[in-house]
Amino acid sequence: MRRLAAIGAAGDAGEVAVPVADSTDCAQDRSPSPWRLTDVCAVWETGVFLFAADWEGASSGVVARKRLNEAERLSSVQEAELERLEAARPRWPGSGERGPVLRMARLQPPLWVHAAFLLCFLGLGGAIQIPMDPSIQNELSQPPTITKQSVKDHIVDPRDNILIECEAKGNPAPSFHWTRNSRFFNVAKDPRVSMRRRSGTLVIDFRSGGRPEEYEGEYQCFARNKFGTALSNRIRLQVSKSPLWPKESLDPVVVQEGAPLTLQCNPPPGLPSPVIFWMSSSMEPITQDKRVSQGHNGDLYFSNVMVQDMQTDYSCNARFHFTHTIQQKNPFTLKVLTNHPYNDSSLRNHPDMYSARGVAERTPSFMYPQGTASSQMVLRGTDLLLECIASGVPTPDIAWYKKGGDLPSDKAKFENFNKALRITNVSEEDSGEYFCLASNKMGSIRHTISVRVKAAPYWLDEPKNLILAPGEDGRLVCRASGNPKPTVQWMVNGEPLQSAPPNPNREVAGDTIIFRDTQISSRAVYQCNTSNEHGYLLANAFVSVLDVPPRMLSPRNQLIRVILYNRTRLDCPFFGSPIPTLRWFKNGQGSNLDGGNYHVYENGSLEIKMIRKEDQGIYTCVATNILGKAENQVRLEVKDPTRIYRMPEDQVTKRGTTVQLECRVKHDPSLKLTVSWLKDDEPLYIGNRMKKEDDSLTIFGVAERDQGSYTCFASTELDQDLAKAYLTVLGRPDRPRDLELTDLAERSVRLTWIPGDDNNSPITDYVVQFEEDQFQPGVWHDHSKFPGSVNSAVLQLSPYVNYQFRVIAINEVGSSHPSLPSERYRTSGAPPESNPSDVRGEGTRKNNMEITWTPMNATSAFGPNLRYIVKWRRRETRETWNNVTVWGSRHVVGQTPVYVPYEIRVQAENDFGKGPEPDTVIGYSGEDYPRAAPTDVKIRVLNSTAISLQWNRVYSDTVQGQLREYRAYYWRESSLLKNLWVSQKRQQASFPGDRLRGVVSRLFPYSNYKLEMVVVNGRGDGPRSETKEFTTPEGVPSAPRRFRVRQPNLEIINLEWDHPEHPNGILIGYSLRYVAFNGTKVGKQIVENFSPNQTKFTVQRADPVSRYRFTLSARTQVGSGEAVTEESPAPPNEATPTAAPPTLPLTTVGVTGTVSSTDATAPAATTEATTVPIIPTVAPTTIATTTVATTTRTTVATTTTMESPPTTGTKAHESAPDEQSIWNVTVLPNSKWANVTWKHNFGPGTDFVVEYIDSNHTKKTVPVKAHAQPIQLTDLYPGMTYTLRVYSRDNEGISSTIITFMTSTAYTNNQADIATQGWFIGLMCAIALLVLILLIVCFIKRSRGGKYPVREKKDVPLGPEDPKEEDGSFDYSDEDNKPLQGSQTSLDGTIKQQESDDSLVDYGEGGEGQFNEDGSFIGQYTVKKDKEETEGNESSEATSPVNAIYSLA
Distance between CA atoms of residues 1231 and 1246, nearest Å: 30
Q: Are strands 443-461 and 373-379 parallel, antiparallel or unpaired?
A: parallel
Q: Choose the most confident range, by mean pLDDT, from 101-105, 1256-1260, 1415-1419.
A: 1256-1260
pLDDT at 348: 55
Distance between CA atoms of residues 881 and 1207, nearest Å: 71
3-state SS class at 301:
strand
Distance between CA atoms of residues 66 and 647, nearest Å: 8
Identity of residue 1377: N
Rg over alpha carbons for the chain, rounded to the nearest Å, is: 58
**Nearest CA-CA partner of 162 in 213, 118, 126, 119:** 213
Distance from the Cα of residue 962 to its chain's centroid: 69
| 722-761 residue pLDDT tens | 999 999 999 889 999 999 999 999 899 999 999 999 988 9
Yes or no: say if 1222 and 1239 are a contact pair by the CB < 8 Å rule.
Answer: yes
Q: Give the mean model confidence (pLDDT) for residues 1407-1429.
A: 37
Q: Are strands 384-387 and 466-468 parallel, antiparallel or unpaired?
A: unpaired
Listed in sequence order, the residues at least 6 apart from 466 whose beta carbon sits closer than 8 Å to its beta carbon are 127, 474, 475, 476, 515, 541, 542, 543, 544
Q: Give the mean model confidence (pLDDT) for residues 404-424.
A: 92
Indicate whether 1367 pLDDT > 70. no
Quick one: CA dihedral 1077, 1083, 1085, 1086, positive or negative?
Answer: negative
Q: Choose the most confident range, by mean pLDDT, from 28-37, 124-133, 503-512, 1433-1442.
A: 503-512
Distance between CA atoms of residues 878 and 860, nearest Å: 33
Banded pLDDT at 1166 (limits 50, 70, 90): very low
Q: Give the mean model confidence (pLDDT) for residues 227-237.
A: 94
Indicate whether 1445 pLDDT > 80. no
Q: Choose the most confident range, by mean pLDDT, from 3-17, 223-237, 308-322, 1376-1390.
A: 223-237
Identify the helix (H) or strand (E) that includes residue 1319. Answer: helix 1318-1344
Distance between CA atoms of residues 1443 and 1449, nearest Å: 10
* Residue 475 or 12, more confident: 475
List beta partners, residue 266: none
Q: Characterise 1318 by phi-psi region: left (phi > 0), alpha (psi -120 to 50), beta (else).
A: alpha
Yes or no: say if 947 and 1030 are a contact pair by the CB < 8 Å rule.
Answer: yes
Distance between CA atoms of residues 373 and 532, nearest Å: 29
Indicate whether 1290 pLDDT > 90. no
pLDDT at 1171: 32
pLDDT at 501: 86
Q: Give the mean model confidence (pLDDT) for residues 170-178.
A: 92
Identity of residue 361: E
Yes or no: say if 1059 and 1067 are a contact pair by the CB < 8 Å rule.
Answer: yes
Identity of residue 454: K
| 1232-1277 residue pLDDT tens | 888 898 888 887 778 889 999 987 778 888 888 876 778 888 888 8
Distance from the Cα of residue 1221 to its chain's centroid: 35
Mean pLDDT score across all residues of the chain: 78
Lowest mean pLDDT among 202-216, 931-945, 956-970, 1334-1348: 1334-1348
Distance between CA atoms of residues 751 and 824, nearest Å: 12
Distance between CA atoms of residues 570 and 561, nearest Å: 11
Indicate whether 941 pLDDT > 70. yes
Listed in sequence order, the residues at least 6 apart from 1213 whose beta carbon sits closer than 8 Å to its beta carbon are 1136, 1205, 1224
Banded pLDDT at 1386 (limits 50, 70, 90): very low
pLDDT at 989: 95
Yes or no: say if 1396 and 1442 are a contact pair by the CB < 8 Å rule.
Answer: yes
Q: Determine the angle formed by the axes of helices 1441-1448 and 1318-1344, rounding to 10 degrees.
A: 40
Distance between CA atoms of residues 1061 and 1037, nearest Å: 8
**Nearest CA-CA partner of 337 in 395, 394, 252:** 252
Identity of residue 194: S
Q: Are strands 558-563 and 479-483 parallel, antiparallel or unpaired?
A: unpaired
3-state SS class at 132:
coil
Kindly state the DSSP code that residue 704 receives in the 8-state scheme. Answer: G
Banded pLDDT at 351 (limits 50, 70, 90): low
Distance between CA atoms of residues 922 and 518, nearest Å: 136
Q: Give the mean model confidence (pLDDT) for residues 889-896.
A: 93
**Nearest CA-CA partner of 917 in 1011, 816, 835:** 835
Banded pLDDT at 1217 (limits 50, 70, 90): low
Residue 1261: count other Cβ atoms within 10 Å of its Cβ: 12
Indicate whether 1365 pLDDT > 70. no
pLDDT at 1344: 65
Q: Are strands 558-563 and 15-17 parallel, antiparallel or unpaired?
A: parallel
Identify the helix (H) or strand (E) that includes residue 1445. Answer: helix 1441-1448
pLDDT at 1314: 62
Q: Choose the most confident range, by mean pLDDT, from 828-832, 1261-1265, 1339-1343.
A: 828-832
Banded pLDDT at 1321 (limits 50, 70, 90): confident
3-state SS class at 1322:
helix
Identify the helix (H) or strand (E) that includes residue 860. Answer: helix 858-861
Quick one: CA dihedral 788, 790, 792, 795, positive or negative?
Answer: negative
pLDDT at 920: 93
Helices (H) and strands (E) in the chain, counts: 12, 105
Listed in sequence order, the residues at least 6 apart from 1029 whose beta carbon sits closer than 8 Å to its beta carbon are 973, 1008, 1009, 1010, 1011
Which H, E and C letters describe 1114-1179, residue by residue? EECCCCEEEEEEEECCCCHHHCCCCCCCCCCCEEEEEEECCCCCCCCCCCCCCEEEEEEECCCCCC
Q: Give the mean model confidence (pLDDT) for residues 199-219.
A: 90
Q: Are strands 175-180 and 334-337 parallel, antiparallel or unpaired?
A: unpaired
Kindly state the DSSP code that residue 1424 receives in the 8-state scheme. Answer: -
pTM attached to this predicted model:
0.45
How many residues are given for the chain? 1449
Indicate whether 400 pLDDT > 90. yes
3-state SS class at 690:
strand
Indicate whether 106 pLDDT > 60. no
b/e for 954-970, b at 16 or more Cβ within 10 A? beeeebbbebbbbbbbb
pLDDT at 1155: 32
Indicate whether 1426 pLDDT > 60. no
Measured CA to CA in angstroms, residue 1367 lies from 50, 312, 1349, 1378, 1396 at distances of 96, 134, 8, 21, 18
Whether the ω angle into residue 1137 lies within 30 degrees of 0, i.e. cis, is no
Lowest mean pLDDT among 413-422, 458-467, 1148-1157: 1148-1157
Yes or no: say if 1163 and 945 are a contact pair by the CB < 8 Å rule.
Answer: yes
pLDDT at 469: 86
Indicate whether 344 pLDDT > 70. no
| 271-290 residue pLDDT tens | 888 999 999 988 899 999 99
List beta partners, residue 375: 450
Listed in sequence order, the residues at least 6 apart from 84 whose beta carbon sits closer than 8 Å to its beta carbon are none
Residue 163: count other Cβ atoms within 10 Å of its Cβ: 13
Distance between CA atoms of residues 132 and 254, nearest Å: 75
**Nearest CA-CA partner of 408 in 386, 423, 398:** 423
Banded pLDDT at 535 (limits 50, 70, 90): very high
Identity of residue 452: R
| 577-634 residue pLDDT tens | 888 888 899 887 767 787 888 998 888 889 999 999 999 999 999 999 988 999 999 9
Distance from the Cα of residue 1051 to its chain's centroid: 65
How far apart are the two ends of the chain, measured CA to CA in Å?
106
Yes or no: say if 458 and 482 are a contact pair by the CB < 8 Å rule.
Answer: yes
pLDDT at 737: 94
Measured CA to CA in angstroms, residue 625 lies from 582, 586, 798 at distances of 9, 21, 109
Identity of residue 380: R
pLDDT at 824: 94
**Nearest CA-CA partner of 630 in 559, 558, 553, 557:** 553
Q: Are strands 495-496 and 487-492 parallel, antiparallel or unpaired?
A: antiparallel
Banded pLDDT at 386 (limits 50, 70, 90): very high
Indicate whether 1219 pLDDT > 70. no
| 113-167 residue pLDDT tens | 444 433 333 333 446 777 777 777 777 888 999 999 999 999 998 888 999 999 9
At 877, give phi and psi (nearest 5°): -115, -10
pLDDT at 1306: 56
Q: Give the mean model confidence (pLDDT) for residues 825-831.
A: 92
Segments of 196-350 assigned E as strands:
202-204, 217-225, 228-231, 235-239, 253-256, 261-263, 275-279, 292-294, 300-302, 315-320, 325-328, 334-337
pLDDT at 195: 93
| 487-533 residue pLDDT tens | 999 999 999 988 888 888 888 988 999 999 888 888 899 999 999 99
Indicate whether 1211 pLDDT > 50. no
Indicate whether 2 pLDDT > 60. no
